[in-house]
Amino acid sequence: MTPTRLHIFRVISISTICVLLLASLALSQDEATPTTNLSTEIDTVIIEVAAPTSLIATDHKYDNGERINLQWVPSIDDLPGISTVVGYRIYRQDDGGAAEAIADLPAKANHYRDENTELGHTYIYSVAALTDGAEFVSNPTESISPEREWIDFSKRYLFLIALIVGGAVIYFIEIARRGKKLFVRKIAGLEAVDDAVGRATEMGRPILFIPGIQDMDDVQTLAGLTILGRISKTIADYDTEIFMPVSRSLVMTAGREIIKSSYQTAGRPDKYSDDMVTYITDEQFGYVAAVDGIMVREKPATIFLLGAFFAESLILAETGNYIGAIQIAGTARPAQLPFFIAACDFTLIGEELFAASAYLSGEPKQLGSLKGQDVGKAIAMVILVIGALATTIGTAWNIASMNSLVDILKTIFSTS
């Protein structure tokens, strides 16, 4: 081989080796890409977890047949801190239909209440443990139908105590009917009612009665209207003028009926006029603007604010105070009572408003009801003292009998 040929051979050989090397390098790079893809697939591979177990469906007690309770043991892979379970999904089959997801719950959940069941339907439930991208479903429950219970026995103690108080009310009504005088302590604000009406009569000015801004479905409005019955009778007797602006149409109707009845009882039906009770507006502050205007223009000598009041209480009471009217207020709303106490001459606090009608009328039914409620309060006071002492002693010295007594009381007075 000549040197020239040898050189050419070497060049070709080296070039071939280089090409082969480059080719192998390129091939190795081509092969590396699938390797990377494989590792990605390994990252997203589905990790299996155990499904929830021991799933039980039970009818919710004491309801109208619209609830079913579910309870299960969470997945054993639902561990604190390192859990791969991200939550649970509840599936329901309605009357043998397809399973539908009805709720998603967080990890660690072990119960659920289905509140959308219907009487007569049959349901089968299952619970799935959720991971990122997969579900592991439990065994389904037995088929179950919700049931309706006609009596809510969870309220048996409430019923028992209501029965005792109700019995006391009936007892005292009967006692009052037989003519026995029932004692009710003086309520300062009510002692002033006749004086307040008399003052308006002497001054020749009207009386303004404001029954609050709530409708007839509020007991405070009812209490206020009951007192109106007594007040309007006195007003009819004294032949004084009464004006009652209202913010609810039903209250207007009831107010007219009450005042009309009082004027008839007083023997002065001709003096009654529907204009005594006027609807203003349902809007809270529109009503206030109108009543404030009435106050400063008509200048009533006496103002009664008896019923349910909200933010308007201070505006009304302060305007009444400004025009120099004697004011008797009453409400059971704790947030508004301070304003009445500050701006009115007499204030019926909370239950005094409800007791007022009985006190004013002296009727056996109302007096008996008031006395019966006092029996309830007496029971509450005794239980408070016994319960507070028993739980204090029982907790401090761990006395079993005291703790048992407290447990009984807690059970009776539990409202949950």
Q: Which of 47, 342 has the CB closer to another protein?
A: 342
Question: Considering only CA atoms, which of 309, 284, 290, 286 is closest in space to residue 223?
Answer: 309
Contacting another protein within 232-261 (CB under 8 A): 250, 253-254, 257
Please choose, out of 10-18, 107-115, 200-208, 380-388, the segment that lies near another protein by the rule CB under 8 A. Answer: 380-388
- Taking the C-alpha atoms of residue 406 and residue 349, their distance in angstroms, rounded to an integer, is 32
Q: Is residue 265 part of the contact set for another protein (CB under 8 A)?
A: no
Please identify, using beta-carbon distances, which residue of 49 and 244 lies nearer to another protein.
244
Residue 395 in contact with another protein, rule: CB under 8 A? yes
- Parallel, antiparallel, or unpaired: how do β-strands 242-246 and 207-212 relate? parallel
In the range 292-321, which residues lie near another protein by CB under 8 A?
292-293, 296-297, 311, 314
Which residue number, 19 or 386, has a Cβ lying nearer to another protein? 386
Q: Does 352 bind another protein (CB under 8 A)?
A: yes
Binds another protein by CB under 8 A, chosen from 222, 227, 236, 276: 222
| Residue span 30-49 as binding mask against another protein, x where in contact by CB under 8 A, dash where not | --------------------
Task: Please identify, using beta-carbon distances, which residue of 197 and 291 lies nearer to another protein.
Answer: 291
Work out how close the CB of 215 gets to another protein at its nearest, in angstroms, rounded to a whole number.
9
Q: Sign (positive/negative) of CA torsion 163, 167, 170, 176?
A: negative
Can residue 114 be called a binding residue for another protein (CB under 8 A)?
no
Determine the interface stretch with another protein among 50-58, 108-116, 122-130, 331-339 (rule: CB under 8 A).
331-339
We find the least distance from the C-beta atom of residue 337 to another protein, in angstroms, to be 6
C-alpha 313/C-alpha 326 separation (Å) is 16
408 binds another protein (CB under 8 A): no
414 lies in the site for another protein, by CB under 8 A: yes
Task: Find the shortest distance in angstroms from Cβ 38 to another protein.
Answer: 58
**DSSP code, position 323:** T
For residues 390 and 305, give the distance between their C-alpha atoms in angstroms, rounded to a whole number: 43
Query: Which lies closer to another protein via its Cβ, residue 17 or residue 163?
Result: 163
Pairing of strands 53-59, 68-73: antiparallel
CB burial string 193-231: b at 16+ within 10 A, e below: beebbebbbeeebbbbbbbbbbbeebebbbbbbbbbbbb
Q: How far is the CB of 123 from another protein (least distance, A)?
A: 23
Residue 90: CA count within 13 A, CB half-sphere? 26
Inter-residue contact 220 to 331 (CB < 8 Å): yes
User: Hey, which residues between 141 and 200 contact another protein (CB under 8 A)?
Assistant: 155, 157-158, 161-162, 183-187
Please give, one letter per residue, the 3-state secondary structure of 139-168: CCCCCECCCECCCCHHHHHHHHHHHHHHHH
Least distance (Å) between residue 146 CB and another protein? 20
Tell me: does residue 370 bind another protein (CB under 8 A). Answer: yes
Give the other-Cβ count within 10 Å of 297's Cβ. 9
25 lines the binding site for another protein (CB under 8 A): no
Q: Closer to another protein at the Cβ: 197 or 355?
A: 355
Of 50, 34, 137, nearest in space to 89 by CA = 137
Return the number of the residue (72 or 354) whose C-beta is nearest another protein: 354
Six token digits for residue 308: 């349910």
Which residue lies nearer to another protein by CB, 92 or 371?
371
CB of 268: closest distance to another protein in angstroms?
Answer: 20
Q: H or E element: which one contains 114?
A: strand 111-114
Q: How far is the CB of 252 from another protein (least distance, A)?
A: 10
Instruction: Report which residue type is found at 162.
Output: A
Contact between 363 and another protein per CB under 8 A: no
Among 337, 344, 348, 360, binds another protein (CB under 8 A): 337
Burial of 12 (0-12, 13-18, 19+ CB in 10 A): exposed
Residue 65 sits in the site that holds another protein (CB under 8 A): no
Residue 113 and residue 66: Cα distance in Å, rounded?
A: 10
Q: Is 380 in the site for another protein (CB under 8 A)?
A: yes
413 counts as binding another protein under rule CB under 8 A: yes
296 CB-near residues (< 8 Å, 6+ apart): 319, 322, 323
Give 93's strand partners. 99, 124
Residue 216 CB, shortest distance to another protein, in Å, is: 5
